[in-house]
Amino acid sequence: MIYLGLLAGFVILLVSGDLLVRGSVSLAVKLGVPALVIGLTVVAFGTSAPELVVSVRAATTDAPGLAIGNIVGSNIANVLLVLGLPAMIRPTDCNQEFVGRNTCYVVGATVIFMLLCFLGPLLWWHGVILFSLIVLFLIESGRRSNLGSNSIRKEAEEDVEEVDGVSGLPRTPSMIALFVFAGLIGLPFGAQLIVENATDIARTYDVSQAAIGLTVIALGTSLPELATTMSAAMRGHSAIAIGNVLGSNMFNLLAIMGLTAILAPVPIPDVVLKYDLWIMLAATLAIVPFVIRRSFIKRLPAAGFVLAYCAYMFFVFTPQRDFSAMVLN
């Protein structure tokens, strides 16, 4: 039953997240937000909503290992899997105006997050620092965009329709509100099922919450990013594809962990400090050479990304990681 409960939680989470993304994107289009800004903010935040509700639920129900594992594991999956798989289908163009700047932002956010983790448990004031940084990022993104013109609104709507790959984006204000409301209601319910059943699985197999969070939960909550990025890449919109990954990682580190730490202390397991934070940094830096050269992420390096992620999944459950100190009682 715990596996069915976990699966049901993921289904509810993904459907609710999809409704929230569609409703939020439609709202952004109505406001005339440019497509690239939608990818970096609205879509990124919407597809990161599963990580948010799962992390907050885990931290506030005495399962902090799931919270930190979910965020770190999701960021690793976003780069190696979510960016790697679509690039194996269609090379991802890193020669975009915003990519270099936002890659620097993501690397900087990763370093700051790691420094705070090494200072000890993430407390409320750490959360305030992290969340303040995402606010500054959003202000900067808004400042660089030209909002409000009819031509931008039309272009944004066309781009988002192609990227989202659906004809069912809500059009009327009432349908937009319904999509957003349904998403917001379903997300916490799905998160509750996931956290409860993932904790039971950890106890059953005598592994840590962190291990489950880094793998099963992280992969499951990264599915919205994967679906969005695959759809974008197949339609040749690599700007939105890589923008979604960069934006999602920013939101994971700053907004989600910021809000989570404000609501409840988040202890950082020693094994995460020793291995996973550094792997997350290495995965983030793997994008940098492509950005510096303004080149494409082609099939061969993309395949390397995916293989690296498979190796990481195997590594998480190796005895050498010594999860024994964190095993659930």
Q: Give me the tens of pLDDT residue by residue for the chain, a chain 329 residues long.
A: 788 888 888 888 778 877 877 777 777 677 766 555 665 566 666 666 777 778 888 887 777 778 898 899 999 999 999 889 888 888 888 877 678 888 999 999 999 999 999 998 999 999 999 999 998 987 877 676 654 444 444 544 444 444 444 446 787 888 888 887 887 788 778 877 887 888 788 778 777 778 888 888 888 777 777 776 776 666 666 656 677 788 889 889 999 899 899 988 898 988 899 999 999 999 999 999 998 988 888 889 999 999 999 999 888 887 666 544 444 33
Residue 319 makes CB contacts below 8 A (sequence gap 6+) with none
Question: Do the Cβ atoms of 64 and 210 come closer than 8 Å?
Answer: no
Q: Which CATH class is domain 2-317?
A: mainly alpha
d(CA 209, CA 200): 10
CA atoms within 13 A of residue 298's CA, in its CB half-sphere: 3
What are the residue boundaries of the structural domains of the chain, listed by start?
2-317
Of 38, 76, 1, 21, the residue nearest 187 (C-alpha):
21
Question: Are 95 and 295 contacting, i.e. CB atoms less than 8 angstroms apart?
Answer: yes
Residue 322 in tokens: 């010594």
